[in-house]
A and B are shown apart, each in its own frame.
Chain A
Amino acid sequence: MSVLRDPRLVAIGERLREVRAVVPFLSSKGGVGKTLVSVATALALGRRGLRVGLLDLDVTNPTVHVVLGIRPGSLVPREEYGVVPPEVSGVRVMSTVFYTLGRPAPLRGEGVSSAIRELLSITRWGPLDVLVVDTPPGMSDELLELLTYIRRFSSFLVTTPSRLSLDSTARLAELVARRVAGVVLNMAWEVPEEAVRLADRLSAPLYVLPYDSSVEVALGSPERLAETRFARAVDRYVAEHVVRLLQNRR
């Protein structure tokens, strides 16, 4: 008797068949603002009338729902030939928090991979222009699942001006170099030469986002977040870049 592969792996391709572009926000260093940049980008694209999905790939420590103001337990994906993500502020959202209800769910590597495969294989996004993916820091299972099973994507590398973050992002860039759409310098108190060089090396634009303390008080309110200087810059640079990317794919 022949033993076959994990059936979820084949289903992942089928579930993403109607997704025009997958856009992950990556950083191997934590605390650089990936979640905020990815959520702000998804919301900005939704406001522009695009069909947008937002996947929180941080399966053990999801926080996308915090930015969007989703209280764990208040929303459940609809069961329909799989599961259909709920729509929040014009964006279809999927996160493990819908099932863990915000409790700690510590997973080792194998469990992380399995949870990601399960989410990707049962989620029916439907037709999407963009699937924005918020990723956890590091170069471990989440990144490898993405690299291996979602081969076609255009990512943004997110970093701060700190050398710690830039060094780390430069390492990550070696892994995903051909799939980088842009470099985002977040909370930019300065624009270091290393950031410019990194973007040049990747032949990608460098988008500089300001440090904006008003973002913290806007957490939980997509409307208030949209009014911040930070979100306006995300809209002007990052979301605009994604729109151009989609236009080039026509």
Chain B
Amino acid sequence: MVGVHEWALAEAVVLTLSQYLREVGWSRVSRVVVSLGELQAVDREVFEFALKELTSLYGVEVGRFEVVDEEASFECRSCGFRWRLRDLNLPDEVRESIHFLPEAAYAYVRCPRCGSADFALLSGRGVRLVGVEP
């Protein structure tokens, strides 16, 4: 179940927490908020399982992980049009490539209004450590 890409993403979060705890001299944190960007299409169940396994593996004490979803949205730098990922109909193999490398979206997505390849990813890219509470 965990022999997947999500493991590496969760490991990055846990390693960062571990380093942070050492830096601030805390032994544990009560709450950690992690945001999952829609573009990367992280399997939430697998990710949460990996977080649990990895905190135990690295000896990082976390009271509660709060995993929140973040909608992916774009803005065209050429014409200013804004759109959401859900407005697009990307084939599964494209979604798979973007899952591993969210910036691959720039190879497949164009502005729905003017066709420009120059757009900004406003939100919902990938895994983001939003914050921690002591």
CA–CA, A107 and B106, complex, Å: 7
CA–CA, A81 and B107, complex, Å: 25
Beyond contacts A2-B132, A106-B118: 17 other A-B pairs, Cβ-Cβ < 8 A, are A1-B31, A3-B130, A7-B16, A7-B127, A10-B19, A11-B11, A11-B16, A81-B2, A82-B7, A99-B98, A101-B97, A104-B107, A105-B103, A107-B103, A111-B103, A118-B102, A122-B100
Determine if A212 is an interface residue (Cβ-Cβ < 8 Å): no
Does A121 contact B8, Cβ atoms closer than 8 Å?
yes
Q: Chain A nearest CB: distance from B24 CB in Å?
A: 8
List, in ascending order, chain B residues with CB within 8 A of A5's CB: 16, 129
Please report A residues at the B interface, Cβ cutoff 8 Å. Answer: 1-11, 14, 59, 77, 79-83, 96, 99-101, 103-108, 111, 114-115, 118-119, 121-122, 124
A-B contact count (CB 8 A): 115
CA–CA, A86 and B4, complex, Å: 16
Does B101 contact A118, Cβ atoms closer than 8 Å?
yes
Q: Chain B nearest CB: distance from A145 CB in Å?
A: 13
Q: Is the interface of B mostly helix, strand, loop or mixed?
A: helix
Does A115 contact B101, Cβ atoms closer than 8 Å?
yes
CA–CA, A1 and B35, complex, Å: 14
CA–CA, A104 and B109, complex, Å: 11
Q: Chain B nearest CB: distance from A106 CB in Å?
A: 5
Assuming the A-B contacts A2-B131, A96-B104, A118-B126, are A81 and B16 also in contact, with contact meaning beta carbons closer than 8 angstroms in the complex?
A: no
Choose among B3, B24, B104, B133 the residue that contacts A100 (Cβ–Cβ < 8 A).
Answer: B104
CA–CA, A114 and B128, complex, Å: 12
CA–CA, A162 and B110, complex, Å: 39
Please report B residues at the A interface, Cβ cutoff 8 Å. Answer: 2-5, 7-9, 11-13, 15-17, 19-20, 24, 31, 33, 97-98, 100-104, 106-108, 117-118, 121, 125-133
Does A96 contact B101, Cβ atoms closer than 8 Å?
yes
Which residue of A is nearest B132, CB measured?
A: A2
CA–CA, A79 and B7, complex, Å: 10
Could you name 15 residue pairs across A and B whose Cβ atoms are closer than 8 Å? A1-B133, A2-B24, A5-B129, A7-B127, A9-B16, A10-B15, A11-B12, A59-B103, A79-B100, A81-B4, A81-B11, A106-B118, A118-B126, A122-B100, A124-B8
Does B8 contact A83, Cβ atoms closer than 8 Å?
yes
Which residue of A is nearest B2, CB measured?
A: A81
List, in ascending order, chain B residues with CB within 8 A of A124's CB: 8
Which residue of A is nearest B15, CB measured?
A: A10
Does A11 contact B15, Cβ atoms closer than 8 Å?
yes
Closest A-B pairs by Cβ, 4 of them: A82-B8, A11-B12, A1-B131, A100-B107
Q: Chain B nearest CB: distance from A232 CB in Å?
A: 36
Assuming the A-B contacts A81-B3, A106-B118, A122-B5, are A7 and B33 also in contact, with contact meaning beta carbons closer than 8 angstroms in the complex?
A: no
List, in ascending order, chain A residues with CB within 8 A of B3's CB: 79-81
List, in ascending order, chain B residues with CB within 8 A of A81's CB: 2-4, 7-8, 11
List, in ascending order, chain B residues with CB within 8 A of A104's CB: 107, 117
CA–CA, A77 and B17, complex, Å: 28
CA–CA, A10 and B11, complex, Å: 10
Does A105 contact B132, Cβ atoms closer than 8 Å?
no
List, in ascending order, chain A residues with CB within 8 A of B130's CB: 1, 3
List, in ascending order, chain A residues with CB within 8 A of B97's CB: 99-101
Assuming the A-B contacts A100-B97, A101-B107, are A14 and B15 also in contact, with contact meaning beta carbons closer than 8 angstroms in the complex?
A: yes
